[in-house]
Amino acid sequence: MPELLRKIGSRLNPSLIARNHIGCELDQDFKANGAISPARLLEWNYYSDSLIKIINGLLNDIGLVVIAEYWENSFKLKLEKNDALTIGSLFGFFDENVYYK
Task: Give the tens place of pLDDT for each residue, 84-93.
Answer: 888 898 888 8
Distant-in-sequence, close-in-space partners of 47: CB < 8 Å, separation ≥ 6? 73
Q: What confidence score (pLDDT) does residue 42 get?
A: 92
The total of structural domains in the chain comes to: 1
Calpha distance 95→59 (Å, rounded) = 17
More confident residue, 11 or 100: 11
Domain ranges, residue 89: 2-97
Task: Give the tens place of pLDDT for each residue, 33-83.
Answer: 998 888 999 999 998 888 888 899 889 888 899 999 887 778 899 998 888
Q: What confidence score (pLDDT) does residue 100 get?
A: 62
Q: What confidence score (pLDDT) does residue 98 get?
A: 73
